[in-house]
Amino acid sequence: MPFNILNVKSNPSKVIIICLLFLNILSLTILYSSLHQRGELKNQDIFYKQITWILISWLVLIIISFINYRLYLDFSYIFYILNLILLVAVYFFGKKTMGAQRWLSIFGFSFQPSELSKITTIFLLAKFFSSADRKYFIKGFIFPLVLILINALLIFKQPDLGTAVVLIILFLMVGVSSRIRKRCFIFLVGAGLFLLPFSGHFLKDYQKKRLIVFLNPNVDPLGAGYTIIQSKIAIGSGKLAGKGFLAGTQNQFNFLPERHTDFIFTIVAEEWGFLGSLFLLLIYWLIIKMILDRAKETRDPFARRLSIGICSYLFIHIFINIGMTLGILPVVGIPLIFLSYGGTNLVVSFLLVGIFFNICKNT
């Protein structure tokens, strides 16, 4: 049957595995290009570290896929408390890099507890919103909101505005799919928009500059606005089919900062053009479609909310990151899922996919 691969009933796990393998290959290809400058490969250790992280991520996915997803319902509070302890530990013992204190180092292994917060948030929201009834406003809406806000506040203080925003959006997206009255979430969004103009007092200077250059990058073209201006130039120069592998001028001549992390999509657009970018979005759409279709089919409310949480996590990262590179959203330091360089985010993403695979096997 034509396009049978799109039929979720065939095997969503196989479709996602194929997509992930493609994204791994693309990640290494683009990462190689981002490190390749004027005929020479710079910072080779970054490239080999990413290969190691990819292998570790697949191992994590395989292990997690054999752990019954109902375990996360029983231990969601414990996971939340442990993550809270790690976030507090960052405040006292965290490693400071480029003005941000986000990393913990244990036995020589560095990781970001804020990334783990995304997992515990999904577990917690799936637990609350799978059993919440619209009659119980305090227990079903206020209590989980307070727990998520505590996490978000600790992460915001690191400072990590992007991850803090992700937690709030996760609350809204998973919550809207629950039986809680929708007007509660509408009121929350309205309150947030009302308080937004007063939030500048709590932002760091560089965060304020990012918001200013979001409105007008030319205010500081050689400073805070430089990256987004170069990103737009690179994306636009890719046109329909791109300039080709290792042929992007903004990339190869080092005009674009952070191109192997937050702005890796810019390289995709410059070297592979609109068609290559569209194909990448198709791969992401396939993964999200598989998860959403399975969420609709399952009768277990916890499995459904867990799947929606995983799907929301993927969508938020894709939407915000690409929006940043296009200049339609402020730069908040969100990596492009499965593609950007970085171990913690990659492992967390594969871990969540592993959880979904177990849901597929057990529902």
Total count of residues recorded for the chain: 363
Residue 277 scores a pLDDT above 90 = yes
d(CA 66, CA 87): 28
- Residue range 322-341: mean pLDDT, rounded: 91
Comparing 136 with 203, the larger pLDDT belongs to 203
Q: Of 27, 17, 6, give the one whose Cα is nearest residue 337.
A: 27
Mean pLDDT of the chain: 88
Give tens-digit pLDDT for 71-86. 999 999 999 999 999 9
The pLDDT value recorded for residue 280 is 97
pLDDT in tens, 304-327: 999 999 999 999 999 999 999 999
pLDDT score recorded for residue 28: 95
Lowest mean pLDDT among 96-105, 119-128, 253-262: 96-105
| pLDDT at residue 161, as a whole number | 86
pLDDT-derived band of residue 3, with 50, 70 and 90 as boundaries? very low
Give me the mean pLDDT over the 262-269 stretch. Answer: 93
pTM: 0.91
Residue 1 in this model has a pLDDT that exceeds 70: no
pLDDT at 132 (0 to 100): 63
Average pLDDT over residues 107-136: 83
